[in-house]
Amino acid sequence: MDPDLHQWLDALSAELRVTDVPLGDEVVHRLLDLARDSAHQVTRVSAPLTTFVVGIAVGRGASLETAAARATALLLPEREGDQLP
C-alpha cells in the first residue's frame, strides 16, 4: 500500500475513532476493486457511494467480504454467478 495512503487512513481512522477496524492491504484492495467495478459498470460517481453503502452494511454487522461480494454480484453477475454469500 502506498505510504501516503497508509498515513491518511491511519489519521482518518484515528480522527473518526475507528481504529478497531484494520485497513490492511487486503481490505484496501477489496474496496478499491469494488469502487473500480462500480465506476465501470454504473458511473464514476457511483464508486464512493457504493463503498459508502457497503460500509453502512458492515457497520450494521455484515462482514466486508459478504457485503462486497453481494455488491459485486449485482455489478458483475456473469462473473459472480448465482452464488451470494
Q: Is the pTM higher than 0.75? A: yes
User: 12 in a domain, yes or no?
Assistant: no
Query: Residues 42-56: pLDDT tens digits?
Result: 999 999 999 999 999
Residue 8 in domain:
no
Structural domain count, the chain: 1
Q: Is residue 2 part of a domain?
A: no
Asked whether residue 41 is assigned to any structural domain, the reply reads yes
Tell me if 34 sits within 8 A of 68, measured CB to CB: yes
Q: Which domain holds residue 46?
A: 24-85
Examine residue 10 and state whether it is found in any structural domain, yes or no.
no
Chain segment 11-50, per-residue pLDDT in tens: 999 999 998 888 989 999 999 999 999 999 999 999 999 9
* Dihedral of alpha carbons 69, 79, 32, 40, sign: negative
